[in-house]
Amino acid sequence: MQISAMNWMQVEDYLKTDDRCILPTGSTEQHSYLSLSVDSILASKLANDVAEPLGIPVFPVVPYGLAQQWTAYPGTVTLRIETYLAVIRDILDSIHRAGFRRILIVNGHGGNSPAAGMVKEWVMDNPNSQVKWHNWWNAPQVWAKVHETDPVASHASWLENFPWTRLDGIQFPEHQKPMANMGKMEVLNPSATRAYLEDGNMGGVYQKPDDDMLAIWDIAIQETTALIEEGWE
């Protein structure tokens, strides 16, 4: 149930019987041959796939995050850390003000992780609320399924190549790209990062059969559904 398909009166009525909602967060950044909006597309679709059968409102995805490493690739947008934390805090304040008290953040971008710590601080300041921060792609059940499928998986590889993150007319290389040296990447500036990674894939094949990807997606839905249904105080 998307907030964009509701009016304020419907939200007010919903809050009379339930106080749960989902906030998806993503990024706009290079993903090799895939859409620049991969992280936002996946977080938003997962949130809606989970929430729709349950009748739980989903807020619009936050499309910008912390993507400093990718700024040498055209189309990438990044916020400063202090800006991003302020944006997430302001959104939580608004959601709380409306009456939502149990909030699941479905995060699609690892670079956004500084906000997870801020969220704990926010809950300390709003003790009548509960917030779960969910990095869906490396949650225990999903990550186990990923490794079962192919342990060589990374940013902009097959791991993020779903039918809904591909672009029409784009062909993918057929080779397996060697895994990037993570230690080396930690000290590279954006231009050096682009020179090192070239197309942006950090390691692994570029595409897997759709049956493999849909099996991972089914696990993601199950794992995320459990988070919104269970474990609240």
CATH number at residue 210: 3.40.50.10310
What domain range includes position 145?
3-229
What rounded mean pLDDT belongs to the chain?
97
Using the predicted structure, report yes or no on whether residue 233 has a pLDDT greater than 90: no
Using the predicted structure, report yes or no on whether residue 1 has a pLDDT greater than 90: no
pTM of the model: 0.96
Q: Considering its fold, how many domains does the chain have in total?
A: 1
Query: For residue 183, what is the DSSP state?
Result: H
Using the predicted structure, report yes or no on whether residue 162 has a pLDDT greater than 90: yes
- Locate the DSSP E strands across 63-184: 102-107, 130-135
